[in-house]
Chains A and B, each alone.
Chain A
C-alpha cells in the first residue's frame, strides 16, 4: 500500500491489509507520522504525539503477528485519543492549565487499556476544548476583538474542509485527524454532542454509545450522567469494531451496566429492509433551525435510506426542546460539582469562557436539578413509547455546517442548532454519518435507537454507507 492508500483506508481495510501482509504496523505508523508532520500544523489535531512509543509498539505488534498471534481487528492499527482520557504515555491536560498535572498519572483508563490490550497503537493525544466545554477561546488565538489573554500552549483546531472554520468540539482533534488521514479512527467523548458534532462538521462517522455501555473512569468528567466515551472513524463498521473492544462494565464506573457484550460487527451486513425509521422533522428541519443546504442533504439521505429498504415514518419527538435544555443545565450543575474546589483554587488558570460557563452550575438549585432528573425520567418513558412504533429515529446531526472562526455573525445561531443533546439526556445510542456537502462543508445524518440498540444503530449506519459514499470524501487539507 502506498501512503495515500493507507490514509484513505478504514480500520477494517487496514486490518485486512495487515492480515494479507500488504502492509505492516510500522509502515502505518510511519505514514501517519509523516502525514502529521505536514498536516498537523494546519489542522491543530495533536496536543502531544508519542512518536517513539508508537514506533516501538508497532514493531512489537508486527513481531507478534509474524509469530502467529493476532489479538483483534485493531491489532497494529494506530489511533488518536482525546486529551481528556488518561494514557500511559504522558500527562492529560484536558487542554487546561487548571488541571492538576498529577491527574491521570496512574496510566491508561479502562477504555484506552482495552484498546491497547487489543493491539491498538496510541499515536498521540488530540485537541479538545478546555475541559471539553464550549467553543475555542478566540482571545487566545488573536481571532477575536476582545483583549488578548496570555498565550496558552494549546493549538487551535481547524477544519480540514476549510481552515477558516471550527471543526466542532469538543472531540475536535480526533475528528480532524480522521478527516485529514492522520489516523483511521480514535476516541472522543460526548456530553451534549461532542463526538457527533465534530464528526458532522468534519465529514467523519462518530458513535455515541448507550449510557452505561462504555466505562467513563479514566476520563476527566464534565457531566457524569451525560458523559459518554465513543469512537470516531471513517465508517460505521469501524465504529462497531472499536465498540467491540471498549464496551463492557468496569468496577471503577458503577454507571456501567452488567450485561453481556455483544459483537457489534455481527449484524453489519443485514441491511435495513423493512426497518421503520422515524423522521423527526418537526423539531429539526421544519422548526426553521436548519439551513436550506442541510435540509436538502437530509432529504437526499432519507431517499437513500428508503432506497435501501427502510420504511420512513413521520414522528413527533416528545419533549425535544426540554430534553435539550435540561442537558445543558444539568451538565453545568454536574460540572460545577467536579470543578468546585478547582475553581476556588485556580480560577485565573481557567479560560474566561470555561470558568464562567461552569460557574453557572452554582446558580442551579437543588430543586432545579431534581426537576431536570424528573424530566429525564419522563422523557425516557415517553421516548421508549415512541420506539414502540419505530426502530430508529432520523434527524440531521446539526442544522448548519461548521461555524467560521472570527466574525461569524451567525455563530450563536449556528451553535443553537445542535440536534444532539436530547440523546445525552436520554442516554440513547446515536450515530453521526456524513450525508453530503452544503456550502462546500460536510452535513451529517443522525440515527438514534432505543437503549442498548447500538448494534442496530451501527447496522443502519453501515447500510446507509453501502448506498452512499460521503464517508469516503477527502477534504482539501490532506
Chain B
C-alpha cells in the first residue's frame, strides 16, 4: 500500500495541527486553510522527489 495515496481528511488535519499549538480557528478559516492543503502537499511531494544525495 502506498500511504501517500491515502485520502486525508483536510479539515481534521488543519484543526489538529493548529490545535497542538494552542491555536483554535473558526470553521470558515479551517475550511479555507484546508483548501490550501492539497496544493501545499503537491509542492512538498515535488520537493521530496528530488534526490538530494548523502551530502545534503
A residues engaging B (CB < 8 A)? 319, 321-322, 325-326, 328-329, 340, 343-344, 347, 352, 355-357, 359-360, 362-364, 368, 371-372, 374-375, 377-378, 381
Q: Residue A363 contacts which of B13, B25, B50 (CB distance < 8 angstroms)?
A: B13
A-B contact pairs, 9 of them (CB 8 A): A322-B46, A344-B22, A352-B32, A359-B14, A359-B18, A364-B44, A371-B48, A374-B52, A378-B52
In contact, A378 and B53 (Cβ under 8 angstroms)? yes
Known: A359-B29, A360-B33, A375-B50. A329 touches B18 (CB 8 A): no
Distance of A328 Cα from B42 Cα, bound (Å): 13
Distance of A377 Cα from B54 Cα, bound (Å): 11
Q: Residue B47 contacts which of A322, A344, A357, A363 (CB distance < 8 angstroms)?
A: A322
B6, CB-defined interface residue at 8 Å: no
B residues engaging A (CB < 8 A)? 13-14, 17-18, 21-25, 29, 32-33, 36-37, 40, 43-44, 46-48, 50, 52-53, 55-56
Given A343-B21, A363-B33, 10 further pairs, Cβ under 8 A: A322-B50, A325-B47, A347-B24, A359-B23, A359-B33, A363-B14, A363-B37, A372-B47, A377-B52, A377-B55
Residues in A neighbouring B56, C-beta threshold 8 A: 374-375, 377-378, 381
Known: A360-B33, A362-B18, A375-B50. A329 touches B43 (CB 8 A): yes
In contact, A321 and B46 (Cβ under 8 angstroms)? yes
Residues in B neighbouring A356, C-beta threshold 8 A: 29, 32-33, 36
Chain B's closest residue to A319 (CB) is: B50
Residues in B neighbouring A325, C-beta threshold 8 A: 43, 46-47
Interface of A is mostly: helix
Known: A321-B46, A347-B23. A355 touches B17 (CB 8 A): no
Known: A375-B52, A378-B53. A359 touches B47 (CB 8 A): no
Chain B's closest residue to A373 (CB) is: B56
Distance of A328 Cα from B47 Cα, bound (Å): 12
In contact, B21 and A362 (Cβ under 8 angstroms)? yes
Residues in B neighbouring A378, C-beta threshold 8 A: 50, 52-53, 55-56
Total A-B contacts with CB atoms under 8 angstroms apart: 82
Distance of A362 Cα from B36 Cα, bound (Å): 12
Q: Residue B23 contacts which of A343, A368, A372 (CB distance < 8 angstroms)?
A: A343
Residues in B neighbouring A381, C-beta threshold 8 A: 55-56
Residues in A neighbouring B43, C-beta threshold 8 A: 325, 328-329
In contact, B47 and A326 (Cβ under 8 angstroms)? yes
Instruction: State the Cβ distance, A354 to closest chain B Cβ, in Å.
Output: 11
Residues in A neighbouring B36, C-beta threshold 8 A: 356-357, 360, 363
Residues in A neighbouring B14, C-beta threshold 8 A: 359, 362-363
Instruction: State the Cβ distance, B13 to closest chain A Cβ, in Å.
Output: 7
Q: Residue B25 contacts which of A319, A326, A347, A364 (CB distance < 8 angstroms)?
A: A347
In contact, B52 and A340 (Cβ under 8 angstroms)? no
Distance of A307 Cα from B21 Cα, bound (Å): 57
Chain B's closest residue to A329 (CB) is: B43
Distance of A355 Cα from B21 Cα, bound (Å): 14
Instruction: State the Cβ distance, B44 to closest chain A Cβ, in Å.
Output: 5
Residues in B neighbouring A326, C-beta threshold 8 A: 47
Distance of A357 Cα from B25 Cα, bound (Å): 13
Instruction: State the Cβ distance, A209 to closest chain B Cβ, in Å.
Output: 25
Residues in A neighbouring B55, C-beta threshold 8 A: 377-378, 381
Instruction: State the Cβ distance, B25 to closest chain A Cβ, in Å.
Output: 7
Residues in B neighbouring A322, C-beta threshold 8 A: 46-47, 50
Instruction: State the Cβ distance, B6 to closest chain A Cβ, in Å.
Output: 15
Q: Residue B17 contacts which of A363, A374, A375 (CB distance < 8 angstroms)?
A: A363
Chain A's closest residue to B44 (CB) is: A368
Residues in A neighbouring B32, C-beta threshold 8 A: 352, 356
In contact, A344 and B44 (Cβ under 8 angstroms)? no
Residues in A neighbouring B44, C-beta threshold 8 A: 329, 364, 368, 371
Distance of A329 Cα from B25 Cα, bound (Å): 21
Instruction: State the Cβ distance, A348 to closest chain B Cβ, in Å.
Output: 9
Q: Which of B23, B32, B37, B48 has the most CB of A within 10 A?
A: B23
In contact, A359 and B25 (Cβ under 8 angstroms)? yes
Instruction: State the Cβ distance, A173 to closest chain B Cβ, in Å.
Output: 28
Instruction: State the Cβ distance, A149 to closest chain B Cβ, in Å.
Output: 13
Known: A322-B46, A377-B56, A378-B53. A360 touches B25 (CB 8 A): no
Chain B's closest residue to A326 (CB) is: B47
Q: Residue A355 contacts which of B29, B48, B53 (CB distance < 8 angstroms)?
A: B29
Residues in A neighbouring B46, C-beta threshold 8 A: 321-322, 325
Distance of A374 Cα from B50 Cα, bound (Å): 9
Distance of A230 Cα from B18 Cα, bound (Å): 34
Residues in A neighbouring B21, C-beta threshold 8 A: 340, 343-344, 362
